[in-house]
């Protein structure tokens, strides 16, 4: 069993380079199944979710060659349209295989996906998109199947803003006959990144980043080279950690516009944030008392749900009473009990957490209940008095590349230890 051991109280200082965006990579890699030729995807993060989706694509028959932070995929010869259950069950984003396989073969069969457990995460809007394009769908015995004689463009209004449904509909529509219009589309940066990838490969996607996306179907997608955008959430995690430890950190390889909602909250709390072309500096003086803030998670450009645990961790040591409202997932406060073990004063009522700031947290054995909660636990360990041990690192490794190494280079006392079961 592995654990992270953190001795808190060290200020973070120096520079950190942010890797490629997890959420973009796990959408772009399935999209290579639509391409008739070789794709080279650069700035790929070395994380478990990316390795899993690459393995799935390889098991479907694609040629996959990983070279450092790049992967070359040639899916031109695949003929298999059913994804293996044992791999799909390990990650949520595996449902993008449905849209990609449906777009390529007009049929797909994929097991219900796994990933972090945040409660009910229905795929009804995905199915609505597939059926509007002409596919018959069925969910039975843990399998999602979709099949069409021919996919044809359609006008699709998503009843709720859904990143997954937007991406899956884009994947299914890019090779469909005619024009598809997705209304009430999600606007997240990785949706724009997927659209840019499809366009580089020969697609015709317009409007990504707005609430109306128009896709004119093309006959084929060609090979090419594409570089993934920087990871908004990894960058935000280091921003919060810098403020929490009263540190001074330059965070490089970022798109500052993607971080505006995080920047706004840190500035409101009293931290200093300086933006540059492709980097951002966060510092907090010793004499600054971090202020309480209220926080509501919303679809982009609102405050990201994937930054909620990290921010709530910071609010545990802020002055006064803060309120965090989770508007995206219905069970994303499972990590609160772990923070309370460390001395945090938090009460939860449904989707609302009330955080009473305390003077300090205390080191304790805790676990990562999910990916972003794990990042929150690391930040808690960095600011706590004493030693914190974090278990269930498999969650953290799904989305952060060498997290402990990057924090150690900034001055943190953090080490990964293998412990006998």
Q: What secondary structure letter does DSSP report for 178?
A: S
3-state secondary structure of 263: helix
The CA distance from 186 to 190, in Å, is: 10
Angle at 172 between CA 169 and CA 175, to 5 degrees: 130
Task: State yes or no: is 116 an active-site residue.
Answer: yes
Q: Which of 116, 152, 284, 331 is catalytic?
A: 116
Residue 327, exposed/middle/buried by CB under 10 A (0-12, 13-18, 19+)?
middle
Please tell me the distance from the alpha carbon of residue 74 to that of residue 63, in angstroms, as a whole number: 5
Q: Measured in whole angstroms, how far is the alpha carbon of residue 245 from the centre of its chain?
A: 24
Strand, coil or helix: 132: helix
Number of neighbouring beta carbons within 10 Å of residue 152 = 16
Between CA 22 and CA 392, with CA 191 as vertex, the angle to 5 degrees is: 25
Nearest residue to 118 (alpha-carbon basis) of 335, 341, 390, 311: 335
SS3 226: strand
Q: Tokens for 282?
A: 């966060």
Let me know: does 187 contact 210? Beta carbons within 8 Å. Answer: yes
Q: Strand 321-325 and strand 345-349: pairing?
A: unpaired
Hey, which residues are catalytic here? 116
């Amino acid at each position: 069993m592995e654990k992270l051991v953190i001795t808190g109280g060290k200020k973070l200082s120096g520079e950190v380079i942010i890797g490629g965006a997890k959420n973009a990579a796990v959408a772009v890699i399935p999209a290579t199944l639509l391409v008739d030729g070789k794709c080279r995807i650069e700035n790929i993060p070395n994380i478990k979710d990316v390795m899993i989706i690459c393995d799935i694509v390889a098991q479907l028959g694609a040629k996959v060659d990983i070279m450092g932070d790049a992967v070359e995929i040639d899916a031109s010869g695949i003929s298999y349209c059913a994804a293996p259950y044992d791999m799909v069950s390990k990650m949520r984003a595996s449902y993008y295989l449905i849209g990609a396989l449906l777009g390529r073969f007009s049929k797909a069969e994929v097991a219900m996906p796994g990933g972090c457990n945040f409660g009910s995460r229905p795929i009804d809007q995905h199915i609505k998109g597939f059926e509007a394009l002409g596919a018959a769908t069925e969910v039975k015995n843990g399998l999602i199947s979709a099949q069409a004689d021919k996919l044809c463009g359609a006008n699709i209004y998503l009843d709720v803003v859904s990143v997954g449904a937007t991406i899956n509909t884009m994947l299914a529509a890019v090779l469909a006959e005619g024009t598809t219009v997705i209304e009430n589309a999600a606007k997240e940066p990785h949706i724009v990144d997927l659209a840019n990838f499809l366009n580089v490969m020969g697609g015709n996607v317009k409007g990504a980043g707005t609430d109306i996306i128009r896709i004119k179907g093309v006959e084929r997608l060609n090979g090419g080279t594409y570089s993934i955008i920087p990871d908004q959430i990894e960058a935000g995690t280091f921003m919060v950690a810098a403020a929490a430890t009263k540190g001074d950190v330059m965070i490089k390889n970022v798109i500052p516009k993607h971080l505006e909602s995080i920047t706004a909250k840190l500035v409101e709390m009293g931290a200093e944030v300086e933006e540059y072309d492709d980097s951002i500096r966060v510092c907090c003086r010793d004499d600054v008392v971090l202020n309480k803030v209220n926080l509501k998670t919303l679809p982009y450009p609102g405050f990201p749900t994937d930054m909620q645990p990290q921010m709530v961790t910071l609010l545990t040591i802020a002055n006064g009473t803060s309120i965090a409202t989770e508007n995206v997932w219905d069970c994303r406060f499972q990590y609160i009990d772990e923070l309370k073990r460390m001395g945090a004063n938090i009460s939860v009522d449904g989707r609302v957490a009330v955080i009473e700031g305390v003077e300090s947290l205390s080191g304790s054995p805790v676990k990562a209940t999910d990916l972003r909660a794990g990042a929150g636990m690391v930040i808690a360990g960095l600011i706590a008095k004493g030693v914190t041990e974090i278990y269930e690192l498999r969650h953290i490794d799904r989305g952060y590349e060498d997290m402990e190494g990057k924090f150690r280079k900034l001055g943190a006392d953090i080490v990964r230890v293998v412990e006998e079961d």
